Structure 1
């Protein structure tokens, strides 16, 4: 029985540009601690094999100290480690894979074609390849079939299955089915996916182990698995992220916005980053997002509030008044009906709010 983990897309040294400078620096430090945490998991769970399917760095010219910290952490693993560089951390001049010394238990694939590494003690053959540029139009798996030699055959690649555009190692389903691999460990897709099976080959993307923005939501981690002597693969997803990105939609119609948000939140959000979309109907005053954000700030690591509320219908009814107020609302109501996007509708709604406040000599805040 071979015990392994499959991880990918660390994107070390990501900018975290949407956060404050202090929080961005803290998140970069946390991401650099990920390999050490992973090494502890490997050693505590008697893992034999570590498969890292590319984009471990956010660029091919990462900071040297980041690469040295990764190298040291991988060297602490009591396991064999294999790396297939991806489109962000491609193997080439200036790459940390070339400029940093890597420990003996780490093998980095360096060629833009499949190479085979033998591990006789485990009756294993591992096949992998490297991006050597930012794009890879030719599929690494094209024309490959593992020999029927009684060994376990595993593939390690950074790529996409049946993409609409051939830029990042396009892999065809029929190629996977014909590959003869027991398992194909993939990187590149940041959202973890359920394992797929084509022919006799199981393949999976673990996603990224830490989200970096609101396009990488929810639980993040890696796969832990086993392969028995017959080639049967068993996988378990291991949540591993320190912080989650979440988007929460809250309807504040006829409710106090703060109370509505607090009622919708899960119990523990202090470590997480939230974008809260406020929807529903409100009066002329809208939602005071700055004050609301300040009141809720200690509930989150970072909080972003977006006002997507609309004016209550009874306010638009006043467009029928024979008054300056009615004339103003009739014009905006027509613009609202012609709006093509949510952003356009929000602009009209905000114009109505501020205009009504001006007519009534109110401070909208």
Structure 2
């Protein structure tokens, strides 16, 4: 056989915490596990010979045992071999999750951890050479040395290079200029026939790199961040290779959406337009929304906006207004006698004037006006 078909995935991030989800976090965990089952199902349906996971299977080495057990249970239900490359979140070092009693006890025979750069023979003529992350400050990768680890001469058999980290074209680390790999170098390895495929991990959006069509990030199989940062996640890759050529097809594995919505809110019409936009979104029980709102509203309309956001926070998995939103909340001066009476009316006038003047105290005055309005409404309802 001179061809091979496999599934490439990465960045499962099992155990990842999203505090915005609060008590609904369990549904996020369930979705991540469902995406792994989707990866396994695709591998079986497409007759893939193996699954390659290029790093960050777990969000940290101290991940709770429940995530390890559930992941290994999902992987143990298939006979397809699974190769796990430790990434920067689950690096292979002291205290590694891959050395834990839980992992060792529950890993089935088809699950293999790539702990060094020795070639892994998938079958005769097909080899993986990986570079597991073993330190928080790893030495620069020597790609030529890695390539020299393949046991068969160039042109004989299929060579798959498994890496985890950022590149100089798509950087996903923490410091500018700290990329782990140069795209030109990876591309050259493929174009020169030294490697048939480079499977990367660390970027959570599906991303092809270079000119050969065989250097890829598969992205995360389920969303991990909002769509202003993560543009094409919830997928994995079906890869088919022959020596010197190959095809890569992304396929859907996830079901969640995390959306950023920016909207003006200066009138009742703006609020209704935002309401309609949120109502139209499908799969609300699998959607998280963060709102960036800018505008100036009367206290009555601001209260209506707050009620609407609270309603959608219950309807969606989560919905909230970002802290860098700015919605000025103040009445027209002429409306104050209608909204307030007595000392509250005098206070509302003073606070409105501070808000209108702008400056450092404007936001505090607007928050105080909103509180004063809510208290007045409660008092009036008694």
The corresponding residue for 1:125 is 127
2:61 equivalent in structure 1 = 60
Who is 1:318 aligned against?
A: none
* 1:116 to 2:129 alignment: no
The offset of 1:327, in angstroms, is 8.8
Cα 1:251–1:332 change in 2 (3 A) is closer
1:119-268 counterparts in 2 under 5 A?
119-121=122-124, 123-139=125-141, 141=143, 143-145=145-147, 147-162=153-168, 165=175, 170-179=180-189, 180-190=194-204, 192-198=205-211, 200=212, 202-214=214-226, 217=230, 220-256=233-269, 258-265=271-278, 266-268=280-282
> Structure 2 vs 1, CA of residues 37 and 187 (structure 1 numbering), >3 Å: closer, same or farther?
same
Shift in Å at residue 57 of structure 1? 0.6
1:268: how far off?
1.0
State the match for 2:297 in structure 1: 282
Cα offsets for 1:252-274 (capped at 9, x unmatched): 33334552223223341412111
Deviation readout 1:225-262 (Å, 9 max, x if unpaired): 33342432322222322321111122233334552223
> SS at 1:204's partner residue?
strand
CA offsets 1:5-35 (integer angstroms, 9 cap, x no match): 11111111122222223x1233224433443
> Offset of 1:72 from its aligned partner?
3.0
Q: Which has the higher helix share?
A: 2
TM-score normalised per structure 1: 0.78
Task: Tell me the number of residue pairs that the alignment of Structure 1 and Structure 2 aligns.
Answer: 342
Deviates more, 1:349-358 or 1:5-14: 349-358
- CA offsets, 1:129-182, max 9 Å, x none? 211223324225254446413222111111111258599871122321342222
Q: CA deviation at 1:358?
A: 6.8
Stretch of structure 1 that moved more, 79-88 or 273-282: 273-282
Q: Which has the higher contact order (CA 8 A, sep 6+)?
A: 2
Alignment pair present for 1:70 and 2:54 = no
Distance 1:119 1:208, change over 3 A: closer
In structure 2, the CA distance between the partners of 1:364 and 1:148, relative to structure 1 (3 Å rule), is farther
Contact 2:183 2:209 (C-alpha < 8 Å) held by counterparts = no
CA shift, 1:54, in A, is: 0.7
- The equivalent of 1:18 in structure 2 is 20
Q: CA–CA distance in 2 between the matches of 1:304 and 1:109?
A: 41
Describe the SS at the equivalent of 2:162: strand
Q: Contact 1:156–1:185 at 8 Å: present in 2 too? A: yes
1:319 corresponds to: none
**Residue 291 in structure 1 maps to residue 323 in structure 2:** no
2:29 counterpart SS class: helix
Compared with structure 1, are the counterparts of its residues 325 and 302 closer, same or farther at alpha carbon in structure 2 (3 Å cutoff)? closer
User: Aligned pair in 2 of structure 1 residues 274, 218: CA closer, same or farther (>3 Å)?
Assistant: farther
Contact 2:32 2:221 in 1 (8 A): no
Contact 1:250 1:264 in 2 (8 A): no
CA separation in 2, counterparts of 1:283 and 1:296? 21
Gaps of 5+ in 2: 334-346
User: Are the counterparts in 2 of residues 211 and 241 from structure 1 also a CA contact under 8 Å?
Assistant: yes
Distance 2:10 2:220 in 1: 6
TM-score where L is the length of structure 2: 0.75
1:14 alignment partner, SS class: coil
